[in-house]
Amino acid sequence: MRPLLLSIALLLPLAASAEETQTEILPKKIAEECFKLKAGDKVSFGFKAGSDLEFNVHYHEGEAVKFPIEPSAKAAIENGEFSAPIAQTYCLMWKNTGDKAVTLSYWSKPQ
């Protein structure tokens, strides 16, 4: 299993050229993909997991963590899109809050 700390790339049916990535998230662990965006830049994304994962989009401002997309439990997002409110490094993050490993498949396409 390779570590997952890349520049964001997630899935959309529109994103035919986006490459799907698959990883296993162990119990109480995370997977995230981060990338630099300018204000107004967009990312289309999607994912599918074997069970609910806590998903969010966040960035760090000093010691504070800001959530343009608040954490919520989801097993899939088919056609997600995120627009950066400010220039920043943003991360898509999945947290396995369960007791068993979960397989995650995801893709993204910066626009």
What CATH number has the domain bearing residue 52?
A: 2.60.120.680
Instruction: Give the whole-number percent of the chain exceeding pLDDT 70.
Output: 85
Average pLDDT over residues 30-58: 96
Number of domains in the chain: 1
Q: CB within 8 A of 7, min separation 6: which ones?
A: 33, 34, 35, 36
- Residue 79: domain span: 5-110
Question: How many Cα atoms occupy the beta-carbon half-sphere of 105 within 13 Å?
Answer: 7
What pLDDT sits at residue 108? Answer: 87
Closest to 2 (Cα-Cα) out of 31, 35, 29: 31
What pLDDT sits at residue 41? Answer: 97
Task: Give yes or no for a contact between 34 and 84, defined as CB atoms under 8 angstroms apart.
Answer: no
Distance CA 6, CA 70 (A): 21
